[in-house]
A and B are shown apart, each in its own frame.
Chain A
Amino acid sequence: MLSVDPFNLICTVVNLLILFVALRIFLFKPVQKIIAERQAQADAQLNEAAARQKEAESLKAQYSSSMAKAEEEKKQLLNTARKDADEQYQKIVEEAKAQAKQIEERAVADAQNQKNRILKNTEKEIADMVVAAAEKMVGTQSGAKIDRSLYDEFLGKAGEEQ
C-alpha cells in the first residue's frame, strides 16, 4: 500500500501528460478559440457601431451647418430684396414727384400763356370795340386810325401801371 513502484509512477506521469495534451487539444484550445473569436466579433461590431455613430454625428453636424447656411442665405436674400424694393420704391416715388412737378409747372406756364393771350385778345377786342364806337361817333375813317394808335398807347401804359 505504501510502496512506490517506479513503473506505475512513470505510468501515472505519462498518463497525466497525455491527459493534459489531449484536454488541451480537445477542450481548452477549441473553447478558448471560439470565445476569442466571439470576443473579436463583438469588438468588431462595437467598433463598427462606434464608427457608424461618428459618421451619423458628422452627417448631422454637416446637415445642421448647411441648414444654418441656408437660413443665412435666405435672410441675406430677403434683405437685399427688401433693399432693392425700397430703392425701387424711392426711385419711382421721386420720379413720380418730378413728373408731377413738371406737369404742374407746364400747366402753370400754359395757364399763364393762356391768360396772357386772353388778356391780349381782350385788349385788342376792347380796343377794336372802342375804335369802332369812336368811328361810329366820329364817322371818319382816317381820323380813326390815329385814334386807334392813341388808344393802343393808352392801354399799353395802363397795362404797365397795373
Chain B
Amino acid sequence: MGNLAEYLMEELECETVFKIPIRIPQIAAYADGIPVHESIVVTWIIMAVLILVSIILTRNLKVDHISKRQAVAELIVTKLTGMVEGMIGENGKAYVPWLTTVLLYIGVANAIGLFGMKAPTKDLNVTVALAAMSIILVEAAGIYQLGVKRWLHKFLEPVAVVLPINILELVTRPLSLCMRLFGNVLGAFVIMELIKFVVPVILPAVLCCYFDIFDGLLQAYVFVFLTSMYISEMLEVEEA
C-alpha cells in the first residue's frame, strides 16, 4: 500500500513542466528559477484549441445559406450564452461573454482528462484564480451598477446586524467556489486512480465518463451558476 500512497502523492503533485531561468534569491520558491506548472501549460493547450476551433468555426460567416460549420458555431454560442443569460437575467447581459468563457474553460479543463492530460482545475492555483476573478467581477459589477455608496450600503442590508456576515461573504464565497471545484476534480481524480489501481479494465472507462464528463461539466455549470447568481443578486437591489 505504501506504493499506492507514494504513487498517488506523485500524481497529485502539480508537476513543474519547466522553469523560467530568472533566479530570485530573495524568495525561496524562486531561488532556482520561476517554476511553470503543468496546469498552466495545459491551459495554454486548452486556450489554443478553443481559439483555433472558434476561428475555424466562425470563418466566412454568412447571413443566409449558412454552412454546417456556421450552424455549429451559432448553435454553440446561442445555447451557451442563452444558458448563462437564463442564469444571470436580463440585467447582467454585459457579463455573459465572460461567464460563457469561464464555462467553456472549466468544462474543457475538467474533461481534458479524457485526452490523458491532467485537468488544470486540479491545481489549486487555477481554481483560486478563477474564484478570485469571480468575486472581483461580482464586487466590480456592484460598484459599477450601484455606485460606491450604495455598494457599501449593501453590506448593511437587509439589517445592519448582518454586516460581519456580509463582509465574511467576501471571503467565503470565493473560497467555496474555489474549494468546491478543486475538491470535486481532485476527489474524482483520486477515486479514478484508486479504481484504476484495483480494477484496471472496463470499470474505469465507465466511471471516467461520469467523473470527467458529467461531474466535470456539472462543476463548470455550478461555478458559472453561482457566480451569475451573485452578480444578479448584486444587480437586483437596483430595481428595488
Binding site for B on A (CB under 8 A): 1-5, 7-13, 15-16, 18-20, 22-24, 26-28, 30-35, 37-38, 41
Contact across chains for A12 and B77 when beta carbons are under 8 A apart: no
Contact across chains for A34 and B51 when beta carbons are under 8 A apart: no
Contact across chains for B37 and A19 when beta carbons are under 8 A apart: no
Contact across chains for A16 and B97 when beta carbons are under 8 A apart: no
Contact across chains for B74 and A16 when beta carbons are under 8 A apart: no
CB contact under 8 A between A16 and B37, given known A22-B51, A23-B101, A35-B78: no
Once the chains are docked, how many angstroms separate the CA of A33 from the CA of B63? 10
Residue of B with least CB distance to A41: B63
Chain B residue numbers with a CB within 8 Å of A28 are: 77, 81, 97, 100
B124 in the interface, Cβ–Cβ < 8 Å?
A: yes
Binding site for A on B (CB under 8 A): 9, 12-14, 29-30, 34-37, 39-40, 43-44, 46-47, 50-51, 54-55, 57-58, 61-64, 70, 73-74, 76-78, 81, 97-98, 100-102, 104-105, 120, 123-126, 128-130, 132-133
Contact across chains for B51 and A1 when beta carbons are under 8 A apart: no
Chain B residue numbers with a CB within 8 Å of A2 are: 124
Contact across chains for A7 and B129 when beta carbons are under 8 A apart: no
Contact across chains for A16 and B125 when beta carbons are under 8 A apart: no
Contact across chains for B81 and A16 when beta carbons are under 8 A apart: no
Residue of B with least CB distance to A32: B77
Chain A residue numbers with a CB within 8 Å of B76 are: 27
CB contact under 8 A between A23 and B54, given known A1-B14, A34-B61: yes
Contact across chains for A12 and B63 when beta carbons are under 8 A apart: no
Contact across chains for A3 and B133 when beta carbons are under 8 A apart: no
Chain A residue numbers with a CB within 8 Å of B73 are: 27, 31
Chain B residue numbers with a CB within 8 Å of A32 are: 77, 81
Once the chains are docked, how many angstroms separate the CA of A34 from the CA of B59? 12
Contact across chains for B54 and A5 when beta carbons are under 8 A apart: no
Residue of A with least CB distance to B22: A7
Residue in A10, A23, A35 with the greatest tally of chain B CB atoms within 10 Å:
A23
Contact across chains for A7 and B34 when beta carbons are under 8 A apart: yes
Residue in B37, B58, B120, B132 with the greatest tally of chain A CB atoms within 10 Å:
B58
Residue of B with least CB distance to A36: B63
Contact across chains for A19 and B77 when beta carbons are under 8 A apart: no
A2–chain B nearest beta-carbon distance, Å: 6
Chain A residue numbers with a CB within 8 Å of B100 are: 23, 28
CB contact under 8 A between A8 and B39, given known A15-B47, A30-B61: yes
Chain B residue numbers with a CB within 8 Å of A19 are: 46-47, 50-51, 101, 105
Q: Name 14 extra pairs, CB < 8 A, besides A8-B39, A23-B54.
A: A1-B14, A1-B124, A3-B124, A8-B36, A8-B123, A10-B129, A11-B36, A12-B125, A13-B129, A15-B43, A16-B133, A22-B47, A27-B54, A41-B63
A7–chain B nearest beta-carbon distance, Å: 5
